[in-house]
Amino acid sequence: MNIYDISEKAGVSIATVSRVLNGATNVSEKTKQKVLAVIEQYEYTPNAFARGLGLNTMNTIGVMCADSSDLYLAKAIYYIEQKLRANGYDSILCCTGYDLAAKIKAMNLLITKKVDGIILVGSNFIYDRESDNKYIIDAAAQVPVMLLNAAFESPNVYSIVSDDFTSIHDATVEMIRSGVEDIVYFYNSNSYSGKRKLAGYRAAMEEHGLLYDERLMQFYQGSHEDIAAMTAHLTALRDTGFSFHGLIAADDNLAIAAVKYAKKHNLSIPDDFSVIGYNNSLLSCCSDPEITSIDNKLETLCQHLITTLLGVLGGNEMPKITVFNGELVTRGTTRATTPQG
């Protein structure tokens, strides 16, 4: 059943059917109803490929992320998909893994599939070496590229970020004010966002003259699901004789490990040991005590990302970089701040 069949049965031309299909106004109500009736009767739906061929678009957005099973990324994908669909766009999902070559391959594939735009979810798509980011510039030459949680200046590239620097900075200051001075920063990523967080920690500690040892910054290299390995990492640090009574984690998984570490060594939380996580995910409520965590307003970021993308697709001038503030959600792993005075 195609547009010719319908036009024949309705006794009109294919152009008229096409007009009805696309909601053009210059069709008489009578003809319109006649055509709609036939369409309904035969349950006709237009062929998406043919339509794509003519319009050179299929209202589809490519969504790339390293690992959709990561709690945070999964949530981002969820919001993005919902909001795209609400605006008549489909999303083709590509889970690329963390390898650059795979990302480039996925990117080319999406371009070949003629997506109308590409969304890169997560900050691991931006690399230190300028040349490693060429694939983004190339893609942006064809379609708009949106970055969630990473900033990259280039034509046709739009970035939506949470102010990770300030979030971690302020959280660190908060913990210092609560009376903890030997605060370890525990992280597992050197992505764009990862660097900003680390910088926020460094700045806060330096302002208070507390960045006395490189060991305060602990990099965990391993699976983001292997809580046991993270806990072991901290125990190993303790075993070197290094002392710390607070920990700020770049991620709730790491914070969970910190809580486990404290329990293992009978450190009372938050009296002997304070913990702050990041993402304010489900995990922060799973532990006991529940974890104070930084909420980076993921849904807001996603909403704004889609709005910006739709604006760009609609031919409007849109901001190249948009920054939102995070918020510290206080729970049981931190002490009250000592009043200033």
Partner DNA sequence: TTGAAAGCGCTAACAC
Partner DNA sequence: GTGTTAGCGCTTTCAA
Tell me which amino acid residue 204 is.
Answer: A
Q: How far is the CB of 82 from its own copies (least distance, A)?
A: 6
Q: How far is the CB of 117 from DNA (least distance, A)?
A: 19
Instruction: Please state whether beta strands 321-324 and 157-162 pair in parallel, antiparallel, or not at all (unpaired).
Output: parallel
Does 221 sit near its own copies (CB under 8 A)? no
Q: Which does 19 bind (CB under 5 to 8 A by kind): its own copies, DNA, none?
A: DNA
Contacts of 275 (CB under 8 A, 6+ apart): 246, 247, 248, 249, 255, 258, 259, 262, 269, 291, 292, 333, 334
Tell me which amino acid residue 158 is.
Answer: Y
Kindly state the number of chain residues that form the binding site for DNA, as judged by CB under 7 A.
Answer: 28
Q: How far is the CB of 148 from its own copies (least distance, A)?
A: 15
Binding track over 275-294 against its own copies, x by CB under 8 A: -------xx-xxxx------
Does 2 sit near DNA (CB under 7 A)? yes
Q: How far is the CB of 54 from DNA (least distance, A)?
A: 3
Does 42 sit near DNA (CB under 7 A)? no
**CA distances (Å), 162 to each of 29, 174, 245, 323, 329, in order?**
50, 19, 28, 6, 15
Q: Which does 21 bind (CB under 5 to 8 A by kind): its own copies, DNA, none?
A: DNA
Q: Which does 69 bind (CB under 5 to 8 A by kind): its own copies, DNA, none?
A: its own copies
Does 141 sit near DNA (CB under 7 A)? no
- Residues 15 and 180: their CA atoms lie apart, in Å, by 74
Residues 24-63 that bind its own copies (CB under 8 A): 45-50, 52-53, 56, 58, 60, 63
Q: Which of 9, 21, 171, 249 binds DNA (CB under 7 A)?
A: 21
Q: Which does 3 bind (CB under 5 to 8 A by kind): its own copies, DNA, none?
A: DNA
Q: Which of 32, 34, 75, 297 binds its own copies (CB under 8 A)?
A: 75
Nearer to its own copies by C-beta: 81 or 174? 81
Nearer to its own copies by C-beta: 12 or 283? 283
Nearer to its own copies by C-beta: 303 or 337? 303
- Interface positions with DNA (CB under 7 A): 2-4, 11-16, 18-19, 21-22, 25-28, 30-32, 46-47, 50-51, 53-56
- Interface positions with its own copies (CB under 8 A): 45-50, 52-53, 56, 58, 60, 63, 67-69, 71, 74-75, 77-78, 81-82, 85, 90-95, 106, 108-109, 111-114, 225, 227-228, 253, 256, 259-260, 263, 282-283, 285-288
